[in-house]
């Protein structure tokens, strides 16, 4: 429904007004805020990212002022990042990365429910890969992508999956047109994937599309240690 987000906004404001007038049962809670964010996430509106971020900012502000029930959790941050990733904004990668930084700060400040995870970092990577625009826009997105790669190496609370490495390879292809410049990035992504034992057929397929010359150099039989940590063994030898 095209007016679903407007109806949700109206409903949310009514709840706020009733609460301010003394009806304690009408107080919007974390579920209410999250539902509103997800309405924006699915809206396809041009301003969806901005509006979802405003709601997050409201939650962060209210929780900082003492309303701990509104402390944003990982699901809230994931929804806002995904809203930016789905948007048409040329700044989507940078905005998603900034939300990720806010999430990490919340976690550092003691909000255990905001611990970053695979879903969050993968959504941020997808925001990079989905970036459209000119050379400068893609350069900014590439910078964020490289930051994400560094994050995967340094943060122990994030355990990448094949989906993460597939998203990295696809994003690298979308952002770096020059094959010679992209090759070392793709190689680093693939080598890290193998070293972590997260190689499956979907990553192999992405490598074949993104960097076919690297794919052709792979051994005929993939070493088992390259795929030993895949949660569900979907990988087979080529």
Per-residue model confidence as pLDDT tens digits over 141-195 = 999 999 999 999 898 889 999 999 999 999 999 999 999 999 999 999 999 999 9
pLDDT in tens, 18-51: 989 999 899 999 999 999 999 999 998 999 999 9
Instruction: Please tell me the predicted confidence (pLDDT) of residue 87.
Output: 93
* pLDDT band at 238; cut points 50, 70, 90: very low
How far is the C-alpha of 13 from the C-alpha of 22, rounded, in Å? 14
The pLDDT of residue 44: 87
**Rounded to whole angstroms, what are the CA distances from 14 to 5, 10, 27, 52?**
14, 6, 10, 18
Task: Please state, in angstroms and rounded to a whole number, the distance separating the CA atoms of residues 34 and 141.
Answer: 27
* Contact status, residue 118 vs residue 168, Cβ threshold 8 Å: no
Prediction pTM value? 0.90
Q: Does pLDDT of 235 surpass 50? A: no
Q: How many helices (H) and strands (E) does the chain have?
A: 11, 0
What's the average model confidence in pLDDT over 55-73?
Answer: 95
Structure tokens of 90?
């040329």
């Amino acid at each position: 429904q095209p007016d679903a987000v407007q109806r949700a906004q109206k409903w949310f404001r009514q709840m706020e007004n009733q609460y301010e007038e003394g009806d304690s049962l009408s107080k919007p809670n974390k579920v209410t805020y999250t539902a509103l964010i997800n309405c924006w996430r699915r809206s396809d509106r041009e301003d969806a990212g901005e509006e979802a971020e405003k709601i997050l900012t409201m939650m962060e502000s209210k929780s900082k002022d003492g309303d701990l029930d509104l402390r944003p959790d990982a699901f809230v941050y994931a929804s806002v990042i995904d809203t930016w990733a789905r948007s048409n904004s040329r700044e989507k990668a940078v905005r998603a990365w900034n939300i990720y930084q806010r999430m990490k700060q919340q976690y550092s400040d003691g909000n255990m429910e905001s611990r970053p995870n695979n879903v969050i970092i993968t959504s941020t990577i997808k925001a990079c890969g989905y970036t459209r625009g000119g050379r400068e826009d893609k350069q900014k997105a590439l910078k964020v992508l490289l930051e994400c790669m560094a994050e995967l190496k340094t943060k122990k609370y994030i355990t990448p999956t094949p989906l993460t490495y597939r998203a990295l390879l696809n994003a690298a292809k979308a952002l770096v047109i020059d094959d010679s410049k992209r090759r070392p990035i793709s190689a680093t992504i693939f080598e890290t994937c193998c070293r972590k034992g997260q190689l499956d057929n979907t990553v192999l397929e992405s490598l074949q599309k993104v960097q076919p010359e690297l794919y052709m150099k792979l051994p005929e039989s993939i070493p088992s240690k390259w795929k030993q940590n895949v949660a569900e063994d979907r990988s087979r030898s080529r």
